[in-house]
Amino acid sequence: MNNYHAPTRFVGKNSKYLDICPSTNSLAFSEALQGDLPEGFAWIAGHQTAGRGQRGNTWNAQPHQNLTLSILLRPPHRLLDKQFYLSKAVAIGILAGLEAWSRATQGESFNFEIKWPNDIYLDGVKMGGILIENNFQAGQWSFSIIGIGLNINQRQFENIRGTSLRSYLQLEQEIPLTEIYSYISQGIEESYDLFTREAFPTLDEIYHERLFRRSQWALYETSIGQFEGKIIGVNEQGLLEIEKEFTVESYDLKEISFIFTA
């Protein structure tokens, strides 16, 4: 039975639930190519056997403990050169949803942040990630598949710095995944509206307020070694801008790694 129906205009309103599948992103991409699905359609998996992340990484999550889904969006082609703003919008929408859930159910919000380029952090530790895959047809931006993985109820994390909402809050009862789904669907819909209305200064302001390590000196590593720097922001091209002692430099995803000392 599919209980995933968000109280929205379109994002997450219609969905397909699968008890198990290799990857919701792969399935969503295939079905979006085959059929005339409405914008905002979502695919949710109880268990992904081959979930994917950035840099070709796999996304490992315990079965039926977390929220793993993909959402179909159809961004206007005129915004093609603003692709990273779509990523910004999705990230701040997820944070808005998580914060709304926290206020409604726990009576307060918590330290949810965006770690460039695509991770969701809770109090300095990863609790989720985003993978956006685009399709272009006849030179036009046809659709985007928004893959989202959020650690909600999982307790054990092997060989990674990870946490879940339930683990962080030390809750005895499991958190209903359908609740989180509804809240983040609403958050994404609101921030996606900002994107399509080209409210880029607003998106930038919200995004940078929630950017992990912004304006903090910390360690990073490139091909030439480690250095100390301070994140200034993320530009329109999605490059991370870091202040060093005498300069500011920009980095792509594959050019830099965050160093964690503890």
Query: Does domain 217-258 sit in CATH 2.60.40?
Result: no
Q: Where are the domains of the chain?
A: 15-209, 217-258
How high is the pLDDT of residue 54? Answer: 45
pLDDT range class, residue 18, cuts 50, 70, 90: very high
For 91-142, write each residue's pLDDT tens digit.
999 999 999 999 999 999 999 999 999 999 999 999 999 999 999 998 899 9
Average predicted confidence (pLDDT) for the chain? 93
How high is the pLDDT of residue 1? Answer: 72
pLDDT of 157 strictly over 90: no
Region 82-87: mean pLDDT is 96
How high is the pLDDT of residue 262? Answer: 67
Same fold across 15-209 and 217-258: no
Are the CB atoms for 174 and 58 separated by under 8 Å? no
For residue 163, what are the CA distances in angstroms to 72, 123, 202, 206, 238?
Answer: 27, 9, 30, 24, 26
pLDDT range class, residue 229, cuts 50, 70, 90: very high
How high is the pLDDT of residue 2? Answer: 84
Q: Which residue has the tokens 């950035």?
A: 54
How high is the pLDDT of residue 260? Answer: 92
- Eight-class DSSP state of 13: T
Residue range 15-209, CATH number: 3.30.930.10
Task: Give residues with Cβ within 8 angstroms of 61, minimum separation 6.
Answer: 47, 48, 51, 68, 149, 151, 154
How high is the pLDDT of residue 155? Answer: 87
pLDDT of 59 strictly over 60: no
Write the burial class of residue 124 (CB in 10 Å: 0-12 exposed, 13-18 middle, 19+ buried).
middle
For 212-224, write each residue's pLDDT tens digit.
999 999 999 999 9
- The rounded percent of the chain whose pLDDT value lies above 90 is 85
Better-scored residue on pLDDT, 79 or 158: 79
pLDDT of 235 strictly over 80: yes
Region 167-192: mean pLDDT is 97
pLDDT range class, residue 55, cuts 50, 70, 90: very low
pLDDT of 199 strictly over 80: yes
Are the CB atoms for 144 and 79 separated by under 8 Å? no
- In the chain, the largest separation of any two C-alpha atoms, in whole Å, equals 59
pLDDT of 56 strictly over 70: no
